[in-house]
Amino acid sequence: MENKLFIYNTLSRKKEEFIPINPKHVGLYVCGPTVYGDPHLGHSRPAITYDILFRYLTHLGYKVRYVRNITDVGHLENDADVGEDKIAKKARLEELEPMEVVQYYSDRYHEYMDALNVRKPSIEPRASGHIIEQLQMVEDILKKGYAYESNGSVYFDVDKYNEQHNYGRLSGRNIEDMLSTTRDLDGQSEKRKSYDFALWKKAAPEHIMRWPSPFSDGFPGWHLECSAMSARYLGEEFDIHGGGMDLLFPHHECEIAQSTVAHGHTPARYWMHNNMITINGQKMGKSLGNFITLEQFFTGEHELLEQAYSPMTIRFFIMQAHYRSTLDFSNEALQAAQKGMERLLEGCAKMDKIKAGSQSDFNIAELSEKCYSAISDDLNTPILIAHLFEGVKWINTLVDKNASVTEDDLTALKLLMNTMVFDILGLKANQTQGGGNDALLSETVNLLLNLRVEAKANKDWATADKIRNELQTMGIVIKDTKDGFEWEIK
């Protein structure tokens, strides 16, 4: 099958056909989390977006090396000079070793990403494990004359870079504007221009996370890790670089500048940026303090949450919007997502009940074509999902025996639905369904429900209703079906 994948490239501001550097391989780098707090809803957006990209590229037959870093050093709390490292700050507050904090929140991140069924990246490098690579890059840039040393720190010379290259190419800014709009921060005196950015920072005496270097005992600058680690694992030029839109400037702009000087060209060919999740119309983020953690979503324990939402509900909610649009959080939207997802998954589960016939009333090949062109069109998951609901409608009609399909078409339909829903969108079926989690409980409930069937047969509605209502109170939902009953734990 011929599937041309189109990706919106922030560099060109256009959708472009994806053509990998190496026909069989794809190098994908995505900016991961800074591990100093519990993962919140916002973190799930890039994780899920690029997970779908990873899954789809893999499905298309590419061998994908997906690198997603963990930032455990280098981000400053406030401004350039007086700030302290976020990790170090958190460590002091909790009286922990910085690496203990990193370990804890990395584990938390992994736990919640697993819950969301986000596949693990191929490599998950940490900034602190690549100080040597970063220092080499600093020295290289310095040697080439695009950086200067000042009071033990090293800064990137944006003016010099901009003579030959275009600083602002990715973010669409120009350097004159930046000069007038960059904030006046304390300690800017070390820098020649306010828009110069740090490659290496000298550590203040109280700073715990520090490494020796020819310039000073210090730590690498804010943007260096991604450049150094992507080059190390994917090469100096790789295919796709992803991340949140909030990283577009300055982070990704700086990455491009650094890598261009060090390696002679832009590091990645395709730059993808996912949009933000908003809450009351505002970006959900760490700094605004308006975030809801994934743990809170899963338990429902947050004042803004009317109920708990399962990881798959969160995943589906995110996939129902295009990744480049903002997505507004609300209980209503999440509840709608939950119901829609349940219908989709139930549709998939019902496919086994369909018996093949002698003719097909549906064009499965056409549906398949539509699904592939949706996901190939810059990962248009909302359209893909709309088509899958068309499939669900067909499945229901077939289950009700109001239409028929041939054996071949049935196989094709099953393959299509399973591929799209489980392999590419990465949903997974609810495990508590049918009471398969505890044999004893399962048998007990089945016993009661069989008694209820007997009561119904005897027209003993009082007993039948009593069993139903009491089980309901315990959180067991009963569904009467044509051939008996189904139940699940809520």
Partner RNA sequence: GGUUCCUUGGCCGAGUGGCUAGGCAACGGUCUGCAAAACCGUGUACGGCGGUUCGAGUCCGCCAGGAACCUCCA
Which distant-in-sequence residues (6+ apart) come within 8 Å of 91 by Cβ?
97, 98, 100, 101, 208
> Which of 59, 38, 23 shows the shortest CA–CA distance to 296?
38
Helices (H), 400-438: 407-418
User: Which one of residues 20, 46, 121, 435 is an interface residue with RNA (CB under 7 A)?
Assistant: 46
- By CB under 7 A, tell whether 82 contacts RNA: no
Nearer to RNA, 197 or 233 (CB): 197
Restricting to residues 186-205, name those near RNA by CB under 7 A. Answer: none
Measured from the CB of residue 125, what is the shortest distance to RNA in angstroms?
A: 15
Q: How many CB atoms lie within 10 A of CB 76?
A: 18
- By CB under 7 A, tell whether 282 contacts RNA: yes
Tokens of 475: 């959180």
Applying CB under 7 A, the span of 93-101, 135-143, 272-280, 441-449 interacting with RNA comes to 272-280
User: Which one of residues 21, 120, 132, 172 is an interface residue with RNA (CB under 7 A)?
Assistant: 172
> Which of 325, 331, 167, 312 shows the shortest CA–CA distance to 253?
167
Nearer to RNA, 96 or 336 (CB): 336
Restricting to residues 128-167, name those near RNA by CB under 7 A. Answer: none
User: Which one of residues 108, 126, 130, 468 is an interface residue with RNA (CB under 7 A)?
Assistant: 468
Tokens of 452: 């209820």
- Taking only Cα atoms into account, the Rg of the chain, rounded to an integer number of angstroms, comes to 27
Nearer to RNA, 177 or 186 (CB): 177
Tokens of 153: 């720190």
Alpha carbon distance 326, 336 (integer Å):
18
User: Which one of residues 5, 26, 31, 115 is an interface residue with RNA (CB under 7 A)?
Assistant: 31
User: Which one of residues 261, 464, 476, 487 is an interface residue with RNA (CB under 7 A)?
Assistant: 464
- By CB under 7 A, tell whether 45 contacts RNA: yes
- By CB under 7 A, tell whether 79 contacts RNA: yes
Whether a cis peptide bond, with omega within 30° of 0, leads into 20 is no
- By CB under 7 A, tell whether 299 contacts RNA: no
Strand partners, 278: 283, 328
- By CB under 7 A, tell whether 251 contacts RNA: yes
- By CB under 7 A, tell whether 244 contacts RNA: yes
Instruction: Answer left, alpha or beta for residue 434, where phi above 0 means left and psi between -120 and 50 means alpha.
Output: left
- By CB under 7 A, tell whether 389 contacts RNA: yes
- By CB under 7 A, tell whether 403 contacts RNA: no
